[in-house]
């Protein structure tokens, strides 16, 4: 099956990104024909500095490769290296009712968080639809927050096909639900925009500092505690073995355990979990040329597919001699 997903280059990736999305992206590689890209055109909708776009793109690429992206099998590229996607965006825009975009909640959410209400941000779902449709994607693994964008993509594809003939493949969404929302160190959803993240490749010392500051309630050491209401436990769930997790659950419910103890173990487990990938990450940092080569190869392979779909869409819409 053709699987496609994109991730915005908005900084170093965090543990929430890993358990909420990347891990599943990496697992899908074994059985499917995967297309993954760095959505740098999308990132421009929040007006980052040009230097940040460059640095963050490389960071995300290195994180993915270090964690196990198979660069020979999976097609991995930078969205803007295949500018055909912007042309398809235009063709799709011309069959997209404004009302459909007005119903998208992410625009309103982002504007209420302080992003500029620019046209790119409003048209963001059309560019996302073009990403998906350009590569004939069948399955799009995304977090629940992206469900509406996949529905919009299907809607736009149906309208295009009704107008011009059966050109575009309708994708199915594949909501990643295996992990609930990963909490950040302040208890809210872990997110770059809340500054409450633990980065995947953060130095051990700094991970420790953050984990030690995780907010807990004031239940005395000797009293029983509810693991389901504890942020430390929610993070332990991601990195502890089932046996060890069961032991911690027991300690919580029995009482006599201090949160400091659980935090200490969480630090160890969290750093151990990503330890096997650290060396690879460091090697990549010292070999940026290789990283750029991976992107260049990916772009070439992606572009071949993109050109074919775009050409069909152009012809169908009357952009022909
Ligand atoms: P952020 O909120 O840090 O800006 P993004 O919105 O760029 O993260 O998310 C990239 C991917 O990671 C999405 O598929 C999203 O569903 C997933 N993700 C982000 N934060 C979390 C979280 N705290 N828990 C689970 N999944 C998450
Ligand atoms: N909007 C997605 C996000 O913020 C990123 C994205 C862009 C995407 N284009 C895509 C995801 C195409 C899946 C398919 O997470």
Q: Distance between CA atoms of 129 and 232, rounded to whole angstroms?
A: 38
State yes or no: pLDDT of 299 exceeds 90.
Answer: yes
Q: If you average pLDDT over residues 213-223, what whole number do you get? A: 90
- Read off the tokens for 303: 């572009």
141 Cα nearest atom in ligand 2: 13
What is Dmax (Cα atoms) for the chain?
A: 81
Ligand whose nearest atom lies closest to the CA of 115:
1
Interhelix angle 84-93/288-317, rounded to 10 degrees, is 40
Model confidence at 178: pLDDT above 70: no
Q: Which of 21, 19, 27, 24 is nearest to 39 (CA)?
A: 21
What are the tens digits of pLDDT across the range 58-87?
A: 999 999 999 999 999 999 999 999 999 999
Give the mean model confidence (pLDDT) for residues 292-297. Answer: 98
**Residue 128 alpha carbon to ligand 2 centre in Å:** 6
Task: Please report the pLDDT score of residue 13 as a whole number.
Answer: 95
- Residue 251 a catalytic site member: no
Cα separations in angstroms, 53 against 24, 39, 78, 244:
25, 10, 11, 41
Q: What is the DSSP letter of 236?
A: H
Q: What is the pLDDT of residues 104-153, one digit of tens each?
A: 999 999 999 899 999 999 999 999 999 999 999 999 998 878 899 999 99
Name the burial class of residue 24, with classes exposed (0-12), middle (13-18) and buried (19+) by CB atoms within 10 angstroms of its CB: buried
Q: Is the CB of 16 under 6 A from ligand 1?
A: yes
**Ligand 2 near 176 CB (within 6 A):** no
Which ranges in 137-258 belong to alpha helices (H)?
147-164, 204-212, 231-239, 242-254
Say yes or no: CB of residue 156 within 6 Å of ligand 1: no
pLDDT at 57: 97
Report which bound ligand comes closest to the CA of 173: 2
Nearest CA among 197, 168, 210, 198 for reference residue 310: 168
Q: Over 90: is that where the pLDDT of 154 sits?
A: yes
- pLDDT tier at 177 (50, 70, 90 boundaries)? low
> In DSSP terms, which residues pair with 175 in a beta bridge?
142
Is residue 296's pLDDT more than 70? yes
Query: pTM score, two decimals?
Result: 0.93
Q: By three-state DSSP, how is residue 189 classified?
A: strand
In the annotation, is 312 catalytic? no
Is 7 near ligand 1, meaning CB less than 6 Å away? yes
Question: What average pLDDT does the structure give for the chain?
Answer: 95
- What HEC string does 116-161 produce? CCCHHHHHHHHHHHHHHHHCCCCEEEECHHHHHHHHHHHHHHHHHH
pLDDT digits (tens, 9 = 90+) for 234-275: 999 999 999 999 999 999 999 999 999 999 999 999 999 999
Give residue 24's pLDDT band: very low, low, confident or very high (50, 70, 90): very high
User: What are the residues whose beta carbons fall under 8 Å from the beta carbon of 37, sequence distance 6 or more?
Assistant: 4, 6, 7, 76, 77, 78, 79, 131, 298, 302
- Domains in the chain with CATH codes: 2-181+287-317 (3.40.50.620), 192-282 (1.10.240.10)
Report the C-alpha gap between 312 and 167 in whole angstroms.
7
Between the CA of 206 and the centroid of ligand 2 the distance, in Å, is 30
């Amino acid at each position: 099956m053709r699987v496609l997903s994109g991730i915005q280059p908005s900084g170093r990736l965090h543990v929430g990104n890993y358990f909420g999305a990347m891990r599943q992206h990496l697992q899908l590689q074994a059985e499917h024909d995967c297309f993954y890209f760095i959505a740098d055109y999308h990132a421009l909708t929040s007006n980052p500095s040009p230097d940040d776009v460059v640095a963050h793109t490389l960071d995300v690429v290195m994180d993915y490769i270090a964690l196990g992206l198979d660069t020979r099998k999976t097609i991995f590229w930078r969205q803007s290296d295949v500018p055909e996607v912007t042309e398809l965006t235009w063709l799709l825009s011309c069959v997209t009712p404004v009302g459909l975009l007005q119903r998208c909640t992410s625009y309103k959410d982002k504007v209420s968080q302080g992003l500029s209400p620019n046209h790119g941000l409003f048209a963001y779902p059309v560019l996302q639809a073009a990403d998906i449709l350009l590569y004939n994607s069948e399955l799009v693994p995304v977090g629940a927050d992206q469900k509406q964008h996949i529905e919009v993509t299907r809607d736009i594809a149906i309208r295009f096909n009704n107008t011009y003939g059966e050109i575009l493949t309708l994708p199915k969404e594949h909501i990643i639900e295996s992990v609930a929302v990963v909490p950040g160190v302040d208890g809210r959803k872990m997110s770059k925009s809340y500054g409450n993240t633990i980065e995947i490749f953060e130095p051990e010392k700094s991970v420790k500092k953050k984990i030690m500051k995780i907010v807990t309630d004031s239940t005395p050491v000797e009293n029983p505690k509810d693991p389901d209401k504890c942020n430390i436990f929610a993070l332990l769930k991601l990195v502890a073995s089932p046996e060890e997790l069961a032991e911690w659950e027991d300690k919580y419910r029995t009482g006599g355990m201090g949160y400091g103890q659980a935090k200490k173990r969480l630090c160890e487990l969290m750093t151990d979990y990503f330890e096997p990938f650290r060396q690879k990450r460091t090697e990549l940092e010292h070999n940026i040329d290789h990283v750029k080569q991976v992107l260049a190869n990916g772009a070439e392979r992606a572009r071949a597919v993109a050109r074919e779909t775009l050409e069909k869409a152009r012809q169908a819409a009357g952009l022909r001699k």
